[in-house]
Structure 1
Amino acid sequence: MGTILLGLFIFVTLINLIYFFSFFSFATAGSKSKLHPEVPVSVIICAKNEAENLQNFLPAILEQDYPEFEVIVINDASSDNTLEIIEEFQKSDPRIKIVDVQNNEAFWANKKYALTLGIKKARNEHLLFTDADCAPQSKNWIREMSSNFQPGTSIILGYGGYFNHSGSLLNKLIRFETLLTAIQYFSYARLGSPYMGVGRNLAYTSTQFYELKGFANHLHLRSGDDDLFVNEASNSSNTAICFNPQAITRSVPKNNFSEWFNQKRRHVSVATHYKPKHKFLLGTFYIFRVLFWILLALLLVLQVYPQIVLGILGFKLITEAFVYFKSAKKLNETDVVWFFPFFDLFLIFLQMAIFISNLISKPKHWK
């Protein structure tokens, strides 16, 4: 019995290592310099009750070092003074265009509806998306992201991280989960199978949007304006990734576990609508992570070849540490790497809790 368990443990470990070996494609990737065509860009921000964040972060968008861009700010039926704040900015900067969305019965609280109106307002072909609580980490954010619009490329996946609140364990957990997600979608894209992007830092062309009929195929879903669109529209030839440090955006993380848990519930609910191959790959990755820890605990409790088991654990952790550290270094997240075995285990149980919660009740709308 012990030999069978050990054999199963070795098999499960190999599957885990295959995934992390595939993540080497991003971890070891170099950032290639590209020509900067400096195409006109429309930056699109959807804001719902974001008055304070717009005051704090909109100036960083307007201060971008780029020759030709407009900023379309969508007031998505806010109940605070978001619209008034946008209008004040517009008075001093004509590059700001306002889309004021009123609630209607058919599309109440639907971010995709608001974004569609914003995209229709854009006068430029090349669209760059971020959120109202996001700030580019350099004045070259537009330049670095838009430089990836090479011939044949219509979708750019960027990195949208979170601000570092030192001393907060929750902050480190949130940033680690964001790092792991980025490692996955960047790696899959480099391997020719892009499956998602994040709306905090995402670019695509209006032609691509209209060819796909926008968000029509998932307009009924509360979330997924970013990852479902990318999952449907992207392929090995039309998608590029951008992880240049100057192209990173960072946003305000949730400051309590309950809010973050609800945010993750919305994200996970969307993943059930991915293409079958992506659901299989992501589901297998999760299942074999769970199996690894279960078998590890069982083998150690039963004292089945403990030296071999601990040796396998050590090799797996060293491999994962290499991937996490190399990736985190690219994305300026190295301080979260030291906690990865604990965070990895915690996220497994968290995702299980999210699955159960989503079976009991559906997540609420985006805000």
Structure 2
Amino acid sequence: MLIFDVLFYSFIVVIIVQAFYYLGIFQKFAFSKALKTVPKNFPVSVIICAKNEAENLREFLPSILEQDYPNFEIVLTNDSSSDDTLEVMEEFKSSYDFIKIVDVKNVEAFWGNKKYALTLGIKAAKNKHLLFTDADCKPVSNQWISEMCSHFSDTKCIVIGYGAYQKIKGSILNKLIRYETLLTATQYLSYAQIGIPYMAVGRNLAYKSDTFYEARGFMSHIDLNSGDDDLFVNEIATSKNTAVCVSPESFTLSKPKTTFSSWILQKRRHVSTAQRYKTKHKIALGMFYISQVLFWALAILLLSIQYQWMIVAGLVGFRFLMAYTILGLSAKKLNEKDLLVLLPFLELFLIVVQFFIFIKNLIAKPHHWK
């Protein structure tokens, strides 16, 4: 029947599109080799914005304090916390004179907006090289500052790093969270390496203060709750001013969400910023997601009716070979190899979740960063 012919040839087009992404773009990171850099020793300001993070600061801040770097300060920004966050900051400051505290009070115009608090932290920093992470996040080594900052140069004023999530044994949700992080990282690191940087994660990101001020900070998207990392990078990053740092010692490790509802809310906030991406980035990301949806839908349909099933099965196998090869190499680089066993399940589950989030955000926008 004509309709089945159309579906079959549409499936072939989808496979070609998937091959373009996996073999044309994502392979750039998968097959890349770490660049050799020269260690730097210029002064650095590590900025951590915290809202109700007392326990996390007690647990994770020591890993920042123990960094093997000759000259750095830590700027702790308390964003109107209602717990003991400020007291914990002051406890650490009493023992370390290179800690600076910025206590942010609620301002009606910017209530619940992390970008306002983060801006005050940046203004308080005394050094022009800024390195960002979160209060519930720790570097995996004491070389984090050194590795990230070694990629700064006269032309490179933005350094994009990788932020992983802790592994929770036996948790499917944890594997889904980490798979989404792996896939997202494979995309934004690959695009950055082909000269089209479009986002970064705030738990492992560095840039110069001059770059921040020249872009007028977060003013172009101050009305959104999220986007202090991805929207800022989307706005100012170029092939010439952006570097990628993916050496294993440069990774950070964060606490993952432990309930599905809290993770969905977190992703809703993140996804809400995508509408402000540059058009070319939205098209590229949208086409990849659509091709994923069509791959699963058409593959299941054509195989269920056994239409040209041998060719369809061969194309399905080819597509999974690409995915396993590229994501497998990426997972090896990012220490996420245990996810590969569940790759088809995690991929399909994530597609459904992303569609749910898209619909949910159309109905109601997420509010406040904490």
Per the shorter chain, which TM-score range?
over 0.9
What is the 5 A alignment of 1:97-176? Answer: 97-176=100-179
Q: Distance in 2 between matches of 1:171 and 1:352?
A: 19
Q: Distance in 2 between matches of 1:275 and 1:38?
A: 35
The alpha carbon displacement at 1:166 in A equals: 1.3
% identity of equivalent residues: 58
Alignment match, 1:11: 13
Q: Distance in 1 between matches of 2:327 and 2:102?
A: 40
One-letter identity of the residue aligned with 2:347: D
The alpha carbon displacement at 1:4 in A equals: 2.7
- SS of residue paired to 1:272: helix
**Unmatched tracts of structure 1, length 5 or more:** none
Q: Normalized against structure 1, the TM-score is what?
A: 0.99
The alpha carbon displacement at 1:168 in A equals: 0.9
**Unmatched tracts of structure 2, length 5 or more:** none
Question: Which residue of 217, 230, 244 corresponds with 1:214?
Answer: 217
Q: Distance in 2 between matches of 1:301 and 1:159?
A: 40
User: Which moves more between the two structures, 301-310 or 49-58?
Assistant: 301-310
The alpha carbon displacement at 1:38 in A equals: 1.7
Alignment match, 1:186: 189
The alpha carbon displacement at 1:32 in A equals: 1.4
1:90-116 deviations in Å (ceiling 9; x for gaps): 000011100000001111011000000
Are 1:201 and 2:204 an aligned pair?
Answer: yes
- SS of residue paired to 2:138: strand
State how many pairs are aligned: 367
1:72-96 deviations in Å (ceiling 9; x for gaps): 0000000000000000000000111
The alpha carbon displacement at 1:152 in A equals: 0.3
Alignment match, 1:316: 319
**Aligned Cα root-mean-square deviation (Å):** 0.7
Q: Normalized against structure 2, the TM-score is what?
A: 0.98
One-letter identity of the residue aligned with 1:59: P
- SS of residue paired to 2:94: helix
One-letter identity of the residue aligned with 1:347: L
The alpha carbon displacement at 1:3 in A equals: 3.0
One-letter identity of the residue aligned with 1:221: L
Question: Which residue of 330, 335, 339 corresponds with 2:338?
Answer: 335
Are 1:255 and 2:258 an aligned pair?
Answer: yes
Are 1:292 and 2:310 an aligned pair?
Answer: no
Question: Which residue of 47, 64, 87 corresponds with 2:50?
Answer: 47
Alignment match, 2:79: 76
Are 1:236 and 2:239 an aligned pair?
Answer: yes
Are 1:20 and 2:22 an aligned pair?
Answer: yes
Q: Distance in 1 between matches of 2:41 and 2:369?
A: 33
- SS of residue paired to 2:272: helix
1:325-358 deviations in Å (ceiling 9; x for gaps): 1001111111112211111111111111001100
- SS of residue paired to 2:126: coil
Alignment match, 2:62: 59
Q: Distance in 2 between matches of 1:64 and 1:162?
A: 20
Are 1:37 and 2:44 an aligned pair?
Answer: no
Q: Distance in 2 between matches of 1:214 and 1:3?
A: 53
1:293-343 deviations in Å (ceiling 9; x for gaps): 111111112210111111110111011101111001111111112211111
Are 1:346 and 2:367 an aligned pair?
Answer: no
Q: Distance in 2 between matches of 1:179 and 1:142?
A: 22
1:113-172 deviations in Å (ceiling 9; x for gaps): 000000000000100000000010000000000000022000000000101111111111
One-letter identity of the residue aligned with 1:38: N
Alignment match, 1:177: 180
What is the 5 A alignment of 1:80-99? Answer: 80-99=83-102
- SS of residue paired to 2:226: coil
